[in-house]
Amino acid sequence: MTDAFSRILAPLSRTGLSLAALVALLAAPLTTGCGSEADGSGSTGRPATADQQTGQPQPAGAGQVVRTTQIRIGGVEVTAEIADNGELRGQGLMDRDSLAENHGMLFVYGTAEVRSFWMRNTKIPLDIAFIDANGVILNIEQMEPQSDQNYFSQGPMMYALEMDQGWFEANEVGPGDRLEF
């Protein structure tokens, strides 16, 4: 096993993610195409969009399909779209009118760092949970639509989960709760 692979696998394995689930999660972007994106993601086409009526993810075009996964956060099951490359993370939930119930977007990074998010071109008020490499929620921030304000993690984070504003409070999910794959 290479050092780079070990550095990625070690923090993910502490979250309870099985090797098979990790391979499935990471293999999908490698098979979507061989574009020449600046971030080296290899993805092609434009980012995913959502059906305006249901908020459900829709195919992104050019062969790219929105990938989702079932996760549990604080014991509550959620369907999460996976944003694990620069293109998908950059698009985020921009230009959506709504999210389906118990649906969100999981941002996945290869390293744990303090990061910030903003809401430019995002129409939906959202909450964001910043989650460390062990899958533990560090902090949750309420983000206002169409804002360039930066919302920061309160420590090094490897994941972020965006949900409809008020979702975390309504489901009694908070700092210290755990993300489970």
In the chain, how many domains are there? 1
Q: Is the pLDDT of residue 81 over 80?
A: yes
Q: Tell which wins on pLDDT, 59 or 174.
A: 174
**pLDDT grade for 43, boundaries at 50, 70 and 90:** very low
How many residues comprise the chain?
181
Residue 68 has phi, psi (to 5 degrees) of -125, 160
The pLDDT of residue 119: 96
pLDDT tens, position by position, 127-175: 999 999 999 999 999 999 999 999 999 999 999 999 999 999 999 999 9
pLDDT tens, position by position, 84-113: 999 999 999 999 999 999 999 999 999 999
CATH number of the domain that 137 lies in?
Answer: 2.60.120.1140
Contact 32, 42 (CB under 8 A): yes
Q: Is the pLDDT of residue 35 over 50?
A: no
Look up the domain containing 59 and give its range: 3-180
The pLDDT of residue 136: 98
Mean pLDDT of 68-87: 96
The pLDDT of residue 65: 60
The C-alpha atoms of residue 21 and residue 127 are separated, in whole angstroms, by 26
